[in-house]
Amino acid sequence: MNRLASFSPGVCRPNSRSAPFAFVLFACTACAAPTFDFSERWETPRRGMVVSEHPLATEAGVLILEQGGNAADAAVATALALCVVYPQAGNLGGGGFAIWVPHDTGEEPTVLDFRETAPAELTAEHFVDEKGEFVPRRSLDGPLGVGVPGSPAGLFALQEEQGRLPFRKVIQPAIRLAREGFPVDPFLARALAQSRTRRRLLQGGMAGEVFYRGDKSPGAGEVLVQPQLAHALELFVERGPDVFYSGIIGQAIAESVQAEGGVLRAEDLTSYRVNSLSALVGWFRGLEILTVPPPSSGGVALLQVLSMLDGFPLDEEREAAAARAVESGNPLPPGAAALSGRALHWWVEAMRLAFADRAEHLGDPRFVEVPLYDLLSPERISRRRVSVGELANPGVLPMQVRARESNDTTHLSVLDSDGNACSLTTTLNTSFGSGFMVPGYGFLLNNEIDDFAILSGIPNTYGLIGGRANAIEGGKRPLSSMTPTVIRDGGQVVRMVLGSPGGPRIISSVIQVILRKEVYQQSLADAVGAPRLHQQWNPPYTSLEEGWDPQLIQRLRDRHHEIRVVESKMGSVQAIFCEVGGDPVGVSDPRRSGSALAER
């Protein structure tokens, strides 16, 4: 039985660069499935844990934990180190979302929204030619794709508000990696050698100076030193985040973007604010899911899908699939999930419905009314669930309501020894963002403007379409799919910290890891490593990674699902699971080359 939702208003709280206006978001307590007995309480972890997409960034975070920092300090140290060692997505010139969940302090979990904003003068007209036709890639490759960066203000605010150590200590590992250099890993070497990346980065000359020797990309193991970036990071310590907005780096950002034909002005930078928001809250099988509200669509879609699936008999279906496997004489291998075509059909249809709502209703809530109450109402979700039939339904429509990420984002998860959690996703949008580097300061600017629905019906780089809610407006934040999430045991104790890169595949990746862990009882490593699928309403087909059981694929086809098996990988989940009474377990997705490390 689903429990009735309770709603509590949350308000935008002021912080050092917070918005000069207040608006109300609603935290939704979506449905909870059967009540679980939590008399055996999770203990707080004895050792902190960091998981990120680069071992040197993970190491930086752990070092900060070992120096007495908490999860916020370690998350910021890891994110800053990623700017240096993972320039595809780690950034000063992009933005993101972080969720901070303190343990037993009596304080509420907080979301920091440091998403980029559109320059005031930017309009959809900038992306069409004289004939009024959409110009592909203008929002991705050129200066017009650059949104006002949120990362310097966001990372600083997170550390200042929640951290324990001085900022200069937390930024130190990143400065050292930039000044002294680090060995290029095979993943970065491959990315820089790709012809399209090379062309984009060499175009402006600046990134070429930093990453290439002439036009030669560095091989794996070669040491990459970034003195300009080290200088920018040192200025960050000396002058605080304002240096990127009203200071000399901000000036360089505005001047260089304008010199290339962009419309980002000094006033766009000085008016940038980090928003401090209430976490979006829902329940799944007795667990409390804490995640991010709009302007990311990730949290809403995650809660919608989990809520919808909560009402399907997933446990019965799992047990029946396991029994069938035994009867057939092919018992499931250890660690495998007992999946069935019927259960996968529910997963896919729930995603389809959530992504239909995403396209129609979600955008920056400071500019459009986002009908969170309707989208997360258990009653409405039940109605949507009932609408799911036995066959695929590509014709679903967005919910009628009363109120009328290449994949190179990156995610990091931290849990400290006091049980505080920080889940942070940050991005330049596509790999290496706009490819446009701020002269003299060695960091790349984002191409987040492509996340707007630039023209109605024209898909963005992730194939996502949208409408009015996510149309470009000056000062507005483009809709995101970032889904940094923390799950608590129903009380104060953190059970899971997770998130992923991957554009819209962030949402499906996070959903599937939660489902595999909580419904199919896979180990965290198996849940993260298992093949994924993705459905985003438009285009109507469902993509599957390689590695799915062909019989399950056939079962989906039998239900009229259009299936495309794709070579590319979906997401890169960085997750921590806190075992009962033990140390936390961390898993960095085997799809990429990150690492999980506990305090020593």
User: Could you tell me if 462 and 263 are in contact, meaning their C-beta atoms sit under 8 angstroms apart?
Assistant: no
Q: How far is the CB of 477 from ligand GLY (least distance, A)?
A: 10
From the list 282-290, 379-387, 475-483, 576-584, the region that binds ligand GLY by CB under 6 A is 475-483
The 10 Å CB-count burial string (b at 16+, else e) for 460-477 is bbbebbbeebbbbbebbb
Q: Is 116 in the site for ligand GLY (CB under 6 A)?
A: no
| Closer by beta carbon to ligand GLY, 336 or else 458 | 458
Give the three-state DSSP class for 367. coil
Determine if the peptide bond prior to 378 is cis (ω within 30°).
no
From the list 277-285, 348-356, 478-486, 578-586, the region that binds ligand GLY by CB under 6 A is 478-486
| Closer by beta carbon to ligand GLY, 417 or else 425 | 425
* Rg of the Cα atoms in the chain: 23
* Residues between 495 and 524 with contacts to ligand GLY, criterion CB under 6 A: 503
| Closer by beta carbon to ligand GLY, 236 or else 355 | 355
| Closer by beta carbon to ligand GLY, 285 or else 505 | 505
Binding residues for ligand GLY, total number by CB under 6 A: 10
| Closer by beta carbon to ligand GLY, 481 or else 522 | 481
* Residues between 226 and 265 with contacts to ligand GLY, criterion CB under 6 A: none
Fill in the per-residue mask, 354 to 393: x = in contact with ligand GLY (CB under 6 A), - = not in contact.
Answer: ----------------------------------------
Q: How far is the CB of 382 from ligand GLY (least distance, A)?
A: 28
Which long-range contacts (C-beta less than 8 Å, at least 24 apart) are formed by 591-594? 592/53, 592/187, 593/53, 593/54, 593/55, 593/185, 593/186, 593/187, 594/51, 594/52, 594/53, 594/54, 594/55, 594/58
* Residues in contact with 556: Cβ distance below 8 Å, sequence separation at least 6, in sequence order: 341, 344, 345, 348, 392, 542, 563
Identified binder of ligand GLY from the candidate list 278, 307, 427, 535, rule CB under 6 A: 427
Q: How far is the CB of 491 from ligand GLY (least distance, A)?
A: 31
**What is the distance between the alpha carbons of residues 600 and 43, in angstroms, rounded to a whole number?**
19
Q: How far is the CB of 479 from ligand GLY (least distance, A)?
A: 8
| Closer by beta carbon to ligand GLY, 44 or else 423 | 423
Q: How far is the CB of 429 from ligand GLY (least distance, A)?
A: 4
Q: How far is the CB of 426 from ligand GLY (least distance, A)?
A: 9
Q: How buried is 140 (Cβ within 10 angstroms: 0-12 exposed, 13-18 middle, 19+ buried)?
A: buried
Both structure tokens of 216: 């030669």
**What is the distance between the alpha carbons of residues 187 and 209, in angstroms, rounded to a whole number?**
20
| Closer by beta carbon to ligand GLY, 268 or else 451 | 451
Give the Cβ contact number of residue 522 at 10 Å: 20
Q: How far is the CB of 73 from ligand GLY (least distance, A)?
A: 25
Identified binder of ligand GLY from the candidate list 116, 357, 364, 451, rule CB under 6 A: 451
| Closer by beta carbon to ligand GLY, 99 or else 578 | 99
Whole-number Cα distances in Å, 31 to 297, 327, 344, 403, 567: 19, 35, 21, 22, 36
What's the distance, CA 389 to chain centroid?
31
Both structure tokens of 152: 């310097």
Q: How far is the CB of 391 from ligand GLY (least distance, A)?
A: 30
From the list 59-67, 212-220, 353-361, 479-487, the region that binds ligand GLY by CB under 6 A is 479-487
Q: How far is the CB of 83 from ligand GLY (least distance, A)?
A: 16
Both structure tokens of 70: 């908490």
From the list 104-112, 185-193, 480-488, 586-594, the region that binds ligand GLY by CB under 6 A is 480-488
Give the Cβ contact number of residue 277 at 10 Å: 26
Annotated catalytic residue 44: no
Q: How far is the CB of 427 from ligand GLY (least distance, A)?
A: 5
Q: How buried is 332 (Cβ within 10 angstroms: 0-12 exposed, 13-18 middle, 19+ buried)?
A: middle
SS (H, E, C) 86-97: CCCCCCCECEEE
Composition of the chain by helix, strand, coil, percent to 5? 35, 20, 45
What are residue 395's phi and psi, to 5 degrees?
Answer: -90, 15
- Give me the residue whose beta carbon is nearest to ligand GLY: 405
Identified binder of ligand GLY from the candidate list 52, 88, 481, 535, rule CB under 6 A: 481
Q: Is 409 in the site for ligand GLY (CB under 6 A)?
A: yes
Q: Which amino acid is at 128?
A: V
The residue from 29, 409, 427, 461 that is catalytic is: 409
Q: Is 405 in the site for ligand GLY (CB under 6 A)?
A: yes
**What is the distance between the alpha carbons of residues 490 and 324, in angstroms, rounded to a whole number?**
33
**Max CA separation in the chain (angstroms):** 70
From the list 40-48, 251-259, 476-484, 485-493, the region that binds ligand GLY by CB under 6 A is 476-484
| Closer by beta carbon to ligand GLY, 308 or else 449 | 449
576 strand-pairing partners:
497, 586
**What is the distance between the alpha carbons of residues 180 and 71, in angstroms, rounded to a whole number?**
26
Q: How far is the CB of 405 from ligand GLY (least distance, A)?
A: 3
182: Cα within 13 Å, side-chain hemisphere: 26
**What is the distance between the alpha carbons of residues 581 and 600, in angstroms, rounded to a whole number?**
18
From the list 279-287, 311-319, 474-482, 569-577, the region that binds ligand GLY by CB under 6 A is 474-482
Whole-number Cα distances in Å, 509 to 285, 338, 351, 483: 19, 18, 11, 10
| Closer by beta carbon to ligand GLY, 102 or else 433 | 433
| Closer by beta carbon to ligand GLY, 45 or else 503 | 503
From the list 42-50, 71-79, 269-277, 477-485, the region that binds ligand GLY by CB under 6 A is 477-485
Interface residue list for ligand GLY (CB under 6 A): 405, 409, 427, 429, 448, 451, 480-482, 503
Hey, which residues are catalytic here?
Answer: 409
